[in-house]
């Protein structure tokens, strides 16, 4: 099918989050991991390319997104979206602004919007200031992020040093007046030479108005939520079509496995809930053991399990245990050891016949999909907001995967995921 919408996401689980929200429309969505090394064939109406460029040097981020844009244009895309985190994760140099400006230039457009709001997940924007739940961004836990500490809550001030052209605001009062008023505001700002417009949104209705107003702009930028209403608008106009199948069962029969490398508070609860079943086959990966003995013990264990009982392999641990491993091995090495172990276990599981993979952790998901040689994911039913089942080809098998970033999902996520697939 011809592609209408092409999105570029600056990280992997952000891309799956966007994919899940777009798929709610019933239009087929495909997610590519990195820019495909082949020309577009069998593309979907809604295509997303997941990059890993949130904190890469600006030049690299610009050239990677440019390559992604070229591929999406070849696929036929007419509308483009630059997806970043709903907490506007960036440094004073970028990469949100520089990439947006480069995409605008490539697309020959002189204005775009910035709307990272995601009301369903507590991200709202008022007078250009971003809130995380009740807190301004700069007072939220994001102020201490190791790579992108957010020390200002004002999106205009954050954006200004990242771009060369003027920045402006379309505030909530304008949004509340509706799509026409919002378009007029952008036209007035354009007459003043404003290229980058932050748009307020505190509720889903605001996002619907914003999507309605700007569905025909060549380039939009923001979090996943502002893109969510777009496919429905395009369906009404016949620009995209519903998928023909239900998208839920394109994988081979076979057992399931849970692989968890996230140590977030929510994943700790999810693992604990899954382990409540006393019959559950379980293997806890310890980075210190992995450093000394490698992943052989985990692989041997896996080969001797009754796969019908959905085994779980997990490195998920409480903060003090994580700190201990990091102090001994260094955070990077501890993380890399766990990721590599879960990645080889995923391949072994597939070779043993496993066809459904529940994976927890953003980096972990990247490592597992790489080792399974997955380059394209077709998006199926949503398990929790922003976490869909995905279907992929891996080593001549059709498998189902769900890739959950740290804090997504509720405590019963793993069991729920398996139930959704059986439904």
Contacting positions for ligand ADP (CB under 6 A): 261-264, 267, 287, 315, 317, 321-322, 325-326, 334-335, 338-339, 361-364, 405-406
Q: Are 162 and 94 contacting, i.e. CB atoms less than 8 angstroms apart?
A: yes
Structural element, H or E, at residue 419: helix 413-422
In whole angstroms, the minimum distance from the beta carbon of 285 to ligand ADP comes to 7
Q: Which is nearer to ligand ADP, 108 or 146 (CB)?
A: 146
> 39-72 b/e with 16+ CB inside 10 Å = b?
ebeebbbbbbbbbbbbbbebeebbebbbbbbebb
Torsion of CA 268, 387, 422, 277, to 10 degrees: 0
Q: Which DSSP string corresponds to 123-152?
A: EEEETTEEEETTEEGGGSGGGG-SSS----
Instruction: Report the alpha-carbon distance of residue 150 to residue 139 in Å, rounded.
Output: 9
In whole angstroms, the minimum distance from the beta carbon of 367 to ligand ADP comes to 8
Q: Which is nearer to ligand ADP, 267 or 402 (CB)?
A: 267
In whole angstroms, the minimum distance from the beta carbon of 58 to ligand ADP comes to 23
In whole angstroms, the minimum distance from the beta carbon of 371 to ligand ADP comes to 13
Provide the 10 A C-beta neighbour count for residue 73: 16
User: What is the chain's Cα-based Rg?
Assistant: 22
Q: Which is nearer to ligand ADP, 223 or 335 (CB)?
A: 335
Q: Are 171 and 201 contacting, i.e. CB atoms less than 8 angstroms apart?
A: no
In whole angstroms, the minimum distance from the beta carbon of 137 to ligand ADP comes to 19
In whole angstroms, the minimum distance from the beta carbon of 366 to ligand ADP comes to 8
Instruction: Report the alpha-carbon distance of residue 52 to residue 55 in Å, rounded.
Output: 8
What is the biggest distance separating any 2 CA atoms in the chain, rounded to whole angstroms? Answer: 69
Q: Which is nearer to ligand ADP, 105 or 410 (CB)?
A: 410
In whole angstroms, the minimum distance from the beta carbon of 324 to ligand ADP comes to 8
Q: Are 371 and 347 contacting, i.e. CB atoms less than 8 angstroms apart?
A: yes
In whole angstroms, the minimum distance from the beta carbon of 347 to ligand ADP comes to 17
Q: Is 242 helix (H, G, I), strand (E, B) or coil?
A: strand
In whole angstroms, the minimum distance from the beta carbon of 386 to ligand ADP comes to 12
Q: Which is nearer to ligand ADP, 165 or 318 (CB)?
A: 318
Q: Which is nearer to ligand ADP, 162 or 268 (CB)?
A: 268
Torsional sign, CA 159, 114, 361, 373: negative
Q: Which is nearer to ligand ADP, 132 or 195 (CB)?
A: 132
Instruction: Write out 364-396 in H/E/C secondary structure.
Output: HHHHHHHHCCCCEEEEEEEEECCEEEEEEEECC
Instruction: Output the six-digit token pair for 178.
Output: 């509706």
Q: Which is nearer to ligand ADP, 6 or 14 (CB)?
A: 14
Q: Among all chains, which residue has been given the structure tokens 């394109």?
A: 250
Instruction: Output the six-digit token pair for 308.
Output: 């019908």
Torsional sign, CA 84, 89, 94, 95: negative
Q: Which is nearer to ligand ADP, 45 or 335 (CB)?
A: 335
Q: Which is nearer to ligand ADP, 179 or 411 (CB)?
A: 411
In whole angstroms, the minimum distance from the beta carbon of 295 to ligand ADP comes to 12
């Amino acid at each position: 099918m011809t592609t209408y919408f092409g999105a570029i996401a600056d990280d992997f689980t952000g891309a799956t989050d966007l994919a899940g929200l777009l798929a709610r429309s019933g239009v087929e969505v495909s997610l590519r991991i990195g820019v495909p090394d082949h020309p577009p064939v069998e593309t979907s109406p809604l295509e997303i390319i997941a990059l890993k460029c949130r904190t890469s040097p600006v030049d690299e981020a610009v050239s990677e997104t440019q390559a992604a844009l070229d591929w999406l244009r070849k696929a036929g895309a007419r509308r483009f979206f630059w997806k970043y985190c709903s907490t506007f994760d960036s440094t004073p140099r970028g990469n949100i602004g520089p990439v947006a400006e480069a995409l605008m230039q490539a697309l020959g457009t002189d204005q775009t919007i910035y709307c990272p709001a995601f009301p369903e997940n507590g991200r709202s924007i008022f007078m250009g200031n971003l809130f995380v739940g009740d807190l301004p961004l700069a007072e939220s836990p994001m102020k201490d992020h190791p790579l992108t500490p957010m020390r200002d809550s004002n999106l205009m001030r954050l954006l200004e040093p990242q771009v060369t052209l003027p920045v402006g605001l379309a505030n909530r009062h304008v949004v509340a007046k509706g799509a026409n008023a919002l378009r007029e505001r952008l036209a007035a700002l354009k007459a003043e030479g404003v290229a980058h417009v932050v748009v307020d949104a505190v509720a889903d209705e605001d996002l619907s108005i914003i999507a309605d107003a700007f569905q025909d702009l060549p380039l939009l930028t923001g979090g996943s939520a502002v893109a969510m209403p777009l496919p429905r608008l395009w369906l009404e106009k016949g620009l995209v079509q519903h998928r023909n199948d239900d998208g839920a069962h394109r994988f081979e029969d076979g057992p399931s496995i849970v692989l968890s490398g996230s140590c977030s508070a929510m994943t700790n609860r999810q693992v604990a809930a899954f382990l409540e079943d006393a019959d559950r086959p379980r293997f806890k990966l310890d980075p210190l053991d992995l450093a000394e003995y490698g992943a052989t013990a985990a692989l041997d264990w896996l080969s001797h399990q009754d796969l019908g009982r959905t085994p779980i392999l997990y490195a998920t641990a409480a903060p003090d245990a994580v700190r201990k491993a990091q102090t001994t091995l260094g955070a990077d090495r501890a993380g890399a050891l766990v990721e590599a172990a879960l990645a080889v276990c995923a391949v072994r599981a597939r070779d043993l016949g496993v066809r459904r993979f529940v994976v927890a952790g953003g980096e972990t998901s990247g490592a597992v999909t790489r080792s399974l040689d997955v380059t394209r994911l077709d998006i199926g039913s949503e398990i929790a907001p922003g976490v869909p089942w995905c279907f992929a080809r891996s080593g001549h098998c059709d498998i189902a995967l769900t890739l959950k970033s740290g804090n997504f999902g509720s405590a019963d996520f793993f069991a729920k995921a398996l139930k959704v697939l059986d439904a």
